Structure 1
Amino acid sequence: MTAWKDVEEAVPEFAERVRKIFDAHKHKTIATLRANGAPRISGIEAEFADGELTFGSMTGARKGADLHRDPRFALHSPSVDPPEGNPAGWAGDAKIAGRAVPAGAVEGDAEGELFRADIEEVVLTGLNAEATMLVIETWTPGKGLWRVERK
């Protein structure tokens, strides 16, 4: 199992940039798979704490049922537009994909189930300093970190 702390240890600067984008806003988006194999997109909150990435599902929510049937997920950071007149100032988008591992009940006022992320891929998409190329940085446990630039 690959926890968030493993990403932080392997590529600390990259992990810090990814986390900053995820932590910039409260609401994220998660994709799960329905019983028929079609994707389902849901709003979600996620938390980085104690070396883990966790997220919850309210009791009876379809995303929780999806994750129990097929634990694969893709989590997308909040997405914001580049600053007006300064495309190079765009922080970018971050994505984390993997498998959801049940981790017990959600603590607090809400009823639901907590999941830990078994991370298979982390992606950071942004622009180069001149804002002339799209830069895609990807990290996986087996391959490490690599970068692709596209016009």
Structure 2
Amino acid sequence: MTSWRDVEAAAPEFARRVRELFDAHRHKTLATLRADGAPRISGIETVFDDGELTFGSMPAARKGADLRRDPRFALHSATVDPVEGQEAQWPGEAKIAGRAVPSGEVTEGPGGDLFRADITEVVHTHLNPEATLLVVEWWTPAVGLRRIERE
């Protein structure tokens, strides 16, 4: 089981940048797998709390049913376009993949299922300081932090 706390301990500066991207906007996108194996994307809100990444699913929501059947997920931060002429200031986008672990019920609002993330991969995609190359940094529990640059 790999928690957000583990990512922060292994790669603190990288984890800070990823978390800032997730915290910058309320709504994110969650990908799950339907019963027939087809992908489903849904809007979702997430919380980083006490070293855990958590999210909920409203009662009878399809994403909750998907996650109970097959816990694999991919979570994407909100994406904003780079400002023309200021591309080097674009913060990029972040992604987290893993397995959703049931963690009880949502206690606020209409209720539903609460999940915490067992993280298998974290990615931050951004531009280099000159805004001439795409930079992809990713972290996995098995290998740690890696980085590539592309034209």
Bin of the TM-score, shorter chain as denominator length? over 0.9
Q: Which residue of 2 is the match for residue 23 of structure 1? A: 23
Correspondence for 1:121: 121
Q: TM-score, normalised by structure 1?
A: 0.99
TM-score, normalisation: structure 2: 0.99
Alpha-carbon separation, structure 2, partners of 1:38 and 1:108? 31
Question: What is the Cα deviation at residue 83 of structure 1?
Answer: 2.0
Tell me, which stretches of 5 or more residues in structure 2 are unaligned? none
Instruction: Write the deviation string for residues 74-121 of structure 1: whole angstroms up to 9, x where unpaired.
Output: 000011111232011100000000000000000212211100000000
> Which AA in structure 1 matches 2:114?
L
* Structure 1 partner of 2:13: 13
2:65 counterpart letter in structure 1 = A
Distance 2:83 2:51 in 1: 32
Unaligned runs of 5+ in 1: none
Alpha-carbon separation, structure 2, partners of 1:95 and 1:55: 15
Matched, 1:90 2:90: yes
After superposition, the CA RMSD in angstroms is 0.6
Moved over 4 A (4+): none
SS in 1 for 2:139: strand
Overall identity of the aligned pairs, in %: 71
What does residue range 27-46 of structure 1 map to in structure 2 within 5 Å?
27-46=27-46
Pairs aligned (count): 151
The residue that corresponds to 1:58 in the other structure is 58
Name the CA distance, whole Å, in 2 between partners of 1:19 and 1:107: 24
